[in-house]
Chain A
């Protein structure tokens, strides 16, 4: 009796173990068939579309779902499956890098920030679109210098642009009136900014000038703050031709000095508990700025979506209350104005299935009609020439200035180590803003970090 008991227990346990292993294998093949691995025999193909979900309002999500409904009506073979990743901006990129590595996790269509494209292409994560784009007659309708953003280091096209954006100074017109400043303000140098800020400080209760300063806010600090200053001094961060990083330029110290003047010397900035905060972005743009607690904010054009219909700080006539000015260069020389331009694009992961179907869907999303719809929904700038000229697009508040700024656009360096070096900038900016380092010390810190990372021979 005992022996039979033991024996049956052994059999039972091993069956359980095998079943568990078996189920594991079964599940993954089940998923594969769900993803439509059976293309070519008339069965439905599902395309997973991934973007970054950052909480409501989910403009991209609404757009993808609208498109998915329309696409299902137009044809039967392909179904679009919205599959966003919920993450903060920095975490989204790490999530994406991990998911692109395997066929089990890579989506069919992915929304990727253009500055990551060159690194992703080098890693072999993306499908080269050169041949597909050569056969596509719509490609000529895309704005030329935006196309530059989706090229890999080898010069091939790896993504189709979807949105672009510019950066500038948002200003609150009611606060400006109270301070005695013109409501159609356009500064032409950093001094103009100091003057306006000082008038706000002396005549109102509002915080004069705010910008992204906390290293927890990641890339926003580099792109919306530091590069807007640095590139305005006439220098650039990286010499693409010589492949050298700028570490000794005067512009570095001067950009840190601007931050120091605003935050420490002239008292024109927000308190540290507001500035050095994970939620800086939403608190400022959705609450403090529209309500008049802050007069000027250096930030991106996409924030317009908060102030128009459907936004969290909706105004009936946004352009009566809020203004968007271009960021001037340091002393008005050169082009006079400057913006960093970024943008997002659709890419096709190499490790996904159904590349052809994905390409067809991307083409369908990139027509003038759908592109304009996307820009309207998201409050971003469009990447097509014809969409940019459409009336309903151009009539949107702030679009005119934001688009004009694109004429003075610079792009971030396309280099694998850019994310690493960007962190050096973020840390240095925060140190200057909190008074922990002087501008000279911060510039020295930046230089040492970059030299340690890339070697002195790659700097100038």
Chain B
């Protein structure tokens, strides 16, 4: 008996050792490419490291100076608010909602129809962000498609603009939000597609037969059944959108007058255009904090275990 227990313990130990050995390459890679940069980022945020100039040679610790500077920085507060606006409209309201609606409408339809819509939406998603940025800049330009269509129709419908509208200049936040929704909806759509397809149609039909309206059946039955997917999707899309940089930078460059200067764009400007790496990294910690707050909020509020 004792030897059997000892054998089992021995086997468990060697199992664990084997596991550790096999996992070690992965740990090493994770450590080098994720852990070390993360730790470095946090460390650099407390220095005044610069890309060039005398502060590029030595790493000088300045304690909380960067954070004090952020506290007094008006541009930072407006960047935070702009980021929140961008995330709310583009990620939560835009991508998640649209993704759900598209997936819901495609449920149970003709597979060719689904395939066509699916490809169209996914094509937008796989296009490189820079290309999307440039395409939308041209699309919204003075002689772009949107203005061409509007001014053409404007000849007949007086409430439409008669002259081309400088979208990127007059409504920069709207333009960027719409472009981002266009780009990212595919992800939510695919997530919800899988989840909705798993729901047997009998459940909804049963509810309708019991007298529930279409809307009630969606709200009280379908949605709770995909709750897990909703939270995961919200989390992922929010975190992705918090980091959107290329799209905004190519479309508006953060302007005009800083009206689309979200945290990633502001970070880039400080770190790479003003060469203040220390300050830029400190701002990135703010972004990290916001991401963490969103995540906690979703998990707590929607009461789902990840």
Contacts and interface: CB of A to CB of B under 8 A. Distances in A.
Are the chains A and B members of one assembly?
yes
Contacts of B69: 452
The 3 closest A-B pairs by CB, nearest first: A416-B53, A123-B56, A216-B253
Contacts of B255: 214-216, 276, 430
Interface stretch (B104-112, B229-237, B273-281): B273-281
A119 B52 contact: yes
Contacts of B127: none
Interface of B: 25, 50-57, 69, 72-73, 142, 166, 169, 252-258, 269, 272-276
Q: Is the interface of A mostly helix, strand, loop or mixed?
A: helix
Contacts of A123: 50, 52-57
21 contacts: A90-B273, A93-B275, A94-B51, A97-B51, A97-B275, A101-B56, A120-B53, A122-B54, A122-B57, A123-B50, A123-B57, A125-B52, A273-B169, A416-B50, A416-B52, A416-B55, A419-B273, A423-B269, A423-B274, A430-B255, A430-B256
Interface string A84-101: 000000110110011011
A420 interface: yes
A116 interface: yes
Nearest to B69: A452
A436 B142 contact: no
Contacts of B53: 119-120, 122-123, 416-417
A420 B253 contact: no
Contacts of A214: 255-256
Contacts, number: 87
A30 interface: no
A276 B256 contact: yes
A420 B169 contact: no
Q: Is the interface of B mostly helix, strand, loop or mixed?
A: loop
Contacts of B72: 452
Nearest to B29: A17
Nearest to B54: A122
Interface string A259-284: 00000000000001100101000000
Given A98-B51, A215-B256, A434-B256, 13 more contacts: A91-B272, A94-B51, A94-B275, A97-B52, A119-B53, A122-B57, A123-B54, A214-B256, A215-B254, A215-B255, A272-B256, A416-B54, A434-B257
A390 to B, nearest CB: 36
B274 A420 contact: yes
Nearest to B72: A452
Q: Which of A120, A416, A436, A452 has the most C-beta atoms of chain B within 10 angstroms of its own C-beta?
A: A416
A180 interface: no
B275 A419 contact: yes
Contacts of B54: 122-123, 416
Contacts of A273: 142, 166, 169
Contacts of B269: 423
Nearest to A14: B25
Contacts of A416: 50, 52-55
A456 to B, nearest CB: 13
A272 B253 contact: no
Given A420-B274, A434-B257, A124 B57 contact: yes
Contacts of B254: 215-216
Nearest to A101: B56
Nearest to B73: A452
A160 interface: no
Interface string A308-346: 000000000000000000000000000000000000000
A91 B273 CA distance: 7
A341 to B, nearest CB: 21
Contacts of A97: 51-52, 56, 275
Interface string A111-133: 00000100110111100000000
B57 to A, nearest CB: 5
A214 B254 CA distance: 11
A430 B188 CA distance: 38
A430 B256 CA distance: 8
A17 B52 CA distance: 37
A427 interface: yes
B21 to A, nearest CB: 9
A430 B257 contact: yes
B275 A420 contact: yes
A430 B73 CA distance: 19
A232 to B, nearest CB: 25
B257 A272 contact: no
A125 B51 CA distance: 11
A399 interface: no
Contacts of B166: 272-273
Q: Which of B53, B56, B272 has the most C-beta atoms of chain A within 10 angstroms of its own C-beta?
A: B53
Contacts of A431: 257
Contacts of B252: 216
A436 B258 CA distance: 11
A125 to B, nearest CB: 7
Nearest to B251: A278
A123 B69 CA distance: 23
B169 A94 contact: no
A413 to B, nearest CB: 13
Interface string A356-394: 000000000000000000000000000000000000000
Nearest to A448: B74
B257 A278 contact: no
Given A272-B169, A276-B256, A430-B255, A420 B276 contact: yes
A427 to B, nearest CB: 7
A338 to B, nearest CB: 27
A416 B142 CA distance: 39
Contact of A120 (B52, B73, B258): B52
B57 A94 contact: no
Contacts of B275: 93-94, 97, 119, 419-420
Contacts of A90: 273
Contacts of B276: 420
Contact of A124 (B51, B56, B258): B56
Nearest to A120: B52
